[in-house]
A and B are shown apart, each in its own frame.
Chain A
Amino acid sequence: MRLHKHKTFKTGGIHPHDNKLSSQVAITPLPLPKMVTIPIIQHIGAPAKIVVNRGDMIKTGQIIATHEGFVSSNIHASVSGRVGVIEEVMDSTGFKHMAINIRVKGDDWEESIDRSDTLIEEIKLTPKEIVSRIMEAGVVGMGGAAFPSHVKLSVPEGKHVDHLLINGVECEPYLTADHRVMLEKPKEIIVGIKILMKALGVQKAIIGIEDNKADAIEIFQQLLKNEKHIGVEALEVQYPQGGEKQLIQALLNREVPSGGLPADVGVIVHNVGTTYAVYEAVQKNKPLIERVVTVTGKSVKQPSNFLVRIGTPVIDLLIAAGGVPEDTGKIVSGGPMMGKAIADLDVPVAKGTSGILLIPKDEASRSEVYNCVHCGKCIEACPMGLEPYRLLIMSKKGNSKRAKEEHILDCIECGSCSFVCPSNRPILDYIRLGKTQLKKQKSV
């Protein structure tokens, strides 16, 4: 019996089965694909501006699209070779975006990139240089939302940040990419944390890890024995603890105000994957051109964690994991809760792709929808304290003004409401629709 109960967030939350099938499978680099397709928008913000032409020979790590404005991100070539067609292709968002096609020839890296495995602990750069290096390297949040990291590190004036939280929660069932990075690159992550602390000028950092990853918690506890400023905290398993606001509530018991940012309560949150990318960008001068992607599913032959070059078609990953099982009903990019089914196997891996999940047919299809019975389970489950069943009705009726008053924009789209609904109502679908309508109104 556990005497001391681990921390967790208090509002809402659910407990889906975690199904971490690939947590004991080491990260293996995926062989170079024959060609990659790199979308110019893989992040939140403005699309990057293409700076290469068809037929150009490029090296791995070379910039192929530069950021447009501050909230945007550089895109680098993840392979060396010749630039092919530049056209609109379907990406993992389900929509068509401009993308640069590169036919792979050899693996010729930019000379300035340090590809050795040696750990560099000394941080030479000043905080400003760190932020600009991260910006140059095109680092974005690797947890899924892909928000440009340099924007998060540029704290608005007048706001005081006292805590850096490192998100090692990985609350999405099935996914193990962050878990494996924590197990295999803990020292690099710690240096990454120190870099982020220096950039932000904060004295305190906490790594939050759910207690289903005991091995990762143990590694960090040992490595951080003599560190005064960096702590590691075990958290009780609960979805969606990986949400920024939920993690802050769980670790520091602070509540981010409606419509506010974590910086409003003195906190900045970064994912462990991002922290590792920051280490590579600052210490090794390596841009974000590859990431760890979990390929998993109950019928998948070899659930795996691959180190994949950005732009690799999903089909290559599936073949490497033993092919697509016959009973596959849906292929999802991301986790089962927040991920999105992909409509095409040529969809490229993007900076925010944390996993590819193959769901068997009998679990994939939606069940029959019944009327709302007003049981209130969705209210209990909502981690943001909203009333999802009412937001559904408002969005359905097109009453976006009312929905806004009921804080529809605070919804983090975690899907807990749809998960618990006994009538299988498409609650999140309609909330998302309501949010889209509001954004449209704003832009008009």
Chain B
Amino acid sequence: MNEVILYTVLSLTGLGILAAAIIHLVSKKFAVQEDERIDKVEEVLPATNCGGCGQPGCRAFAKAVVEAGTLEELHCPVGGNAVMKQVAAILGIEAVERDPYIAVVRCSGSFEYRKKTNIYDGESSCKIAATLYSGDTGCAYGCLGMGDCVEVCDFEAMYMDEKTGLPVIIEDKCTACNACVKECPKDILELWPKGKKNKRIYVACLNEEKGSSARKECAVACSGCAKCFESCRYDAITINNSLAAIDPEKCTLCLECVETCDVRNIITANIPDEKIKHATEHRIRLEERARKKKEEEKMAAQAGQQQNGDATTQA
């Protein structure tokens, strides 16, 4: 009896040792050499696997960074400059600073301003509604309001406002991962530079129809009236297809355009009302000065003409 136990234990131990040896040899022979830095980089990344960098997950991003050896084209929007500095330190290369971005909602057509013209009864998904028709309001460009963007947000940085029917972005949580931007079939969401001290302005409308028909559909639609365009001293505003757009790179946040908009659809973020008021007053002063100057020039020109006229008659 004892013998049986002894042989069993011995043979099993022997088999175990043999298997261990084989495994050890095989693991040595077929070991995959991976850059150690990949692991290190992955450790400092936020591990959200959101795909905001354009790579399928954080590990893939780490691999791509190590392979590229430069940070020119790769950036983790979630970690931002702080994480990218750490990554640069690990790889011993120069960090590339980037302005942080945030997603903005480029539609202000709330229930109040944009009346429903029909009832949508299909599957509750913006993407599907967009394959079927132009939407349940008159505006073919506006938000469909079924919250596909909220659903894809990994950071709980969005919610649908029940009063307006539009998505709202929570500033502190949005990482500019681009997921909502890709999801929106109407391209309402856009990544926008977060701006200095988080201050930024943008036009919250995408309606490219002529002013009169756009306003019929939505009370706050951009009609392309060009008042903001005329007020801008930095060429930051362009009007294309009856739609104003602000170039964030050129915009100096002088805020003079904000109150020129009839429907107040130039949205400001983190900017106190007082500043806008001051800017508007400044703009009015400037305009008045310009007008006076023009009048004076006109008078001078007229006077000059008269003098010339006198001279000719004399001759």
Contact = CB atoms under 8 A, between A and B. Distances in A.
Given A344-B117, A366-B121, A429-B123, A95 B131 contact: no
B134 A88 contact: no
B117 A343 contact: yes
A95 to B, nearest CB: 5
Interface residues of B, number: 17
Nearest to B132: A94
A191 to B, nearest CB: 39
Given A88-B209, A343-B118, A433 B134 contact: no
Contacts of B128: 426, 429-430, 432-433
A82 interface: no
Contacts of B123: 369, 426, 429-430
Contacts of B131: 429, 432-433, 436
Contacts of A330: 121
A430 B125 CA distance: 10
B122 A426 contact: yes
A339 to B, nearest CB: 12
A430 B132 CA distance: 11
A340 B132 CA distance: 8
Contacts of B134: 90, 94-96, 343
Nearest to B140: A96
A364 interface: yes
B122 A95 contact: no
A66 B8 CA distance: 92
B127 interface: yes
B133 interface: yes
A87 interface: yes
B256 interface: no
B198 interface: no
Interface string A99-138: 0000000000000000000000000000000000000000
A436 B133 CA distance: 13
A392 to B, nearest CB: 10
A365 interface: yes
Contacts of A343: 117-118, 133-134, 136
A211 B134 CA distance: 39
B213 A87 contact: yes
Instruction: Say whether chain A's binding surface is mostly helix, strand, loop, or mixed.
Output: mixed
Interface in A71-108: 87-88, 90, 93-96
Interface in A178-229: none
B186 to A, nearest CB: 12
Contact of A344 (B118, B121, B127, B132): B118
Interface in A389-444: 426, 429-430, 432-433, 436
A429 B125 CA distance: 10
Interface string B119-158: 0011101011001111010001000000000000000000
A119 B77 CA distance: 73
Nearest to B123: A426
Contacts of A95: 133-134, 140
Contacts of B209: 88
Contacts of A366: 121-122
A90 B133 CA distance: 9
Contacts of B136: 343
A365 B121 contact: yes
A94 B122 contact: no
Contacts of A426: 122-123, 128
Contacts of A433: 127-128, 131
A304 B209 CA distance: 38
A272 B136 CA distance: 36
B94 to A, nearest CB: 34
Contacts of A87: 210, 213
Contacts of A430: 123, 128
A343 B123 CA distance: 16
B121 A364 contact: yes
Contact of B122 (A344, A429, A436): A429
Nearest to B209: A88
A430 B134 CA distance: 17
- 5 smallest CB-CB distances across A and B, nearest first, come from A94-B133, A426-B123, A343-B118, A429-B128, A429-B123
18 contacts: A87-B210, A87-B213, A94-B133, A96-B140, A330-B121, A340-B132, A340-B133, A343-B133, A343-B134, A366-B121, A369-B123, A429-B122, A429-B125, A429-B132, A430-B128, A432-B132, A433-B127, A436-B131
Interface of A: 87-88, 90, 93-96, 330, 340-341, 343-344, 364-366, 369, 426, 429-430, 432-433, 436
